Structure 1
Amino acid sequence: MPIDTIEIDDAQVAAVLALREGHFSDMKSKAVGPAKLTKALSAFANADGGELYIGIDEHDGVFSWRGFPDEEAANGHIQIFDQLFPLGDGFKYEFLSSSSQPGVVLHVIVLRSGSIRKASDGRIYVRRGAASQRLETTAQIDQLERDKGITTFESETVNSPLDTITNSETTIEFMLEAFPLSEPDRWMQMQRVIVSGKPTVAGLLLYSDLPQAELPKRSSVKLYRYKTSDAEGRRETLDGQPATIEGPLYNQIRDAVQLTAKLVESIGKLGDEGLTSVTYPQETLHEIITNALIHRDYGIADDVHIRVFDNRIEVESPGRLAGHVSPENILDERFARNGSIVRLINKFPDPPNKDVGEGLNTAFDAMKKLQLKEPIIVELNHSVMVNIRHEKLASPEQMIMDYLRLNLEITNRIVRGLSGIGSENKVKTIFQGLMRRGQIERVPEKKGNLAAYRLTEAGRRSLEEYGGN
């Protein structure tokens, strides 16, 4: 099967060289042995897919184009790759050439594999951020096998006309911006959002102007405003009619965030200076709504529901957490149920999932900075609920005392991590106040950057008397 050679212009060359090694991309010199490169291919296939560019040199963080002299010079690489990953079975190859650059770059597009892929050393690798990590234990491999057994609705084909995605306004705008020299049909076939002449669910969600026409009851966002702080919203507390947010996924995420923020601003809260608007960090709303839409289970016939209460926002997403992710480890672990959606929406300008795998951490950190409590993530029978509360954290003084109730000492860094306070000097002032009140004291042998504080006898008695409250 011949491999196409694609001529690209200087702007596209600059875009390739501007890429950085990450969860979805890797840049390698042609001098790197093909057997070693199979580790990256194995890692991409066993994770969410990705793209490998061979013929790009790196020196001190600067990438430069130094491709193969011609296509035949890459035969050794392709032969090794084909032995492990047969052409057309989850991998697509093409050469990139430019009149202004030396040689051709081999571009390997790796799709998320339905089976486990091993590198030429017989080992199994998984992509984690910018690294290809080898799975060492039987438990890790068993977990990967279970993950690979999970099917995803995003790859299902739909009996819709191809021009629903190949000739939509969304696609025309996207292709002109990101891939101006490519034809939509060919590009979408390579990305596997067109399969057997039909668009996939992922293709419709990303590139149709109105995916909801083809995927009703499973691709909209419903936005509600309840004028209550009760545990549940009721018809009598519902303010007006729920809003329905539709459109391609990229636009839908943007519109859902903007409309939710606007609705929240209409909530008044009585403060020291009278009635003020309730505010939530924009980063928190953006990241949690983005996660709800790109990681939901599109096989479940339900919409994403956003409920705005007087004291909180609830974001409910169809489908339980995928793979090994749980509410307890969700900030540290990642699993993309919809690998194609996650990867391809990242190609849009100013993508909603810029920091792949870090979005929820950003959301939690933004809440801390405003001294608000962290969101609560709850797994229900058929959905995941994120509760974003408008409740203040305990005072920094109370956090310090509560921490010392269970630990021997505390440092400035620990307090900043607990409270979201960014200033060391502000934390020092809080320590000084507690010392003046006789609640804590410096640990004598720890000074400078190692300075730490511990409870005094008076501080211990206070905790015993008031139970840490």
Structure 2
Amino acid sequence: MIENSNTEFKREYTDSIRKAVVAFANTDGGCIYIGVEDDGTVVGVVDVDDVQKRVISLCRDGIQPDVMMFLSCDRTVIEDKDVIRLQVQRGTDCPYYLKGKGIRPEGVYVRRGPVSLPAAESQIRKMIREAGDFHYEQERSLEQELTFKATERFLQEAGVPFGEAERRTLRIVSKDGLYTNLGLLLSDQCQHTVKVAIFSGKKQVVFRDRREFSGSLLLQVNQVIEYLDFHNALHSEIRGMKRLDSRDYPVESLREAIFNAFVHRDYGFSGSILVSVYEDRIEILSLGGLAEGVTYNDMMLGVSIPRNPKLAEIFYRLHYIEAFGTGVRRILTDYAECEEKPQFLVSDNAVKVILPNLHAEWEHPVIAEDVVQDERQGYTAEIAADEGVYQLIAAGLDSRKKLQSELGFSLTKTVNILRKLLDEGRIQRVGNGKNTRYRCK
């Protein structure tokens, strides 16, 4: 007999037996022989009944979740000596851990050859995922020393109770009394962050300001919205006897885009939500693609399956969101009369929402097809197109949208002609954003 990945020897009863039991239950099972030296020499056990009782008590009271249904503790005879054989099967509720240590490497052990070793955090997460079909937010948190000062404040302000019963109802605490990942996300110890950068101009080159928000997700979302609201400039326009005020970005659209980034992101990734503010747009990048079974077309139709439904429920209780599936439609409605439309870019592992600045001057790149078409038609056709746009402006068609509709040109071709007429000094631009108009000089 030798020690290996499924066998361990103990000369006598010791509390370290718990580690071996946890390791076997988390790996492939095994046997612990009490009364056998490390080199395989059988020394036996004097009081078998007493040791058996102590072993059973140790495993029942010192290991969580309950591992007793996977244990058998029997007397056996080896070389005419009484030995206790503690047989451990692989459990179905991994990870098993030492009660006083919690679900962290110093409490979770796995078997590697003849040694019981602390499990790496990645191994612990894998065991949690494999234990059942759970959402990330419902899995047991690796961190159990949590506080909720910020969350309690926001819930109290909204009149939402946050006692022990409510924490279980909201799934912040699991049935076995442990904090879930949702609890971690709402705790002051939350490790996920949001990074916001303000850039000068339209490229990611020169920073004007940058911030990183941490702590409870409720604190983060409120701080991010407050920060972006500060940078969402207010514009005033006098029309007749009235003054019309408007922001660079529709307030509700910006809020919806931020809330969606929090509710739908995959917190299994360690990266941050990224918010980039440019002169002409805001880009919001959230990790995790669309939820399984949801396509891009589904999303645009208003289909919504939150990746984190319990977090979404808390946002709903706090009136951060009105109902599932309304965010994209609200954004599209807010931009319905605008020339520049929001963009929703989706990959397997990320979603980016781009909101145009309503008061920015947008420049569109020349499309190769338009260039080729003009070259085929010749220089005369190019002049004719320029003159056609100029004459229509002189006749009162003063917006890009009206000109494009009248001439049947593509967006890019219309913009390029307008830019050329501006550069030549033949027309002038009045206003900006959706209120941009063109006049002949």
Q: TM-score, normalised by structure 1?
A: 0.44
Q: Which has the higher contact order (CA 8 A, sep 6+)?
A: 1
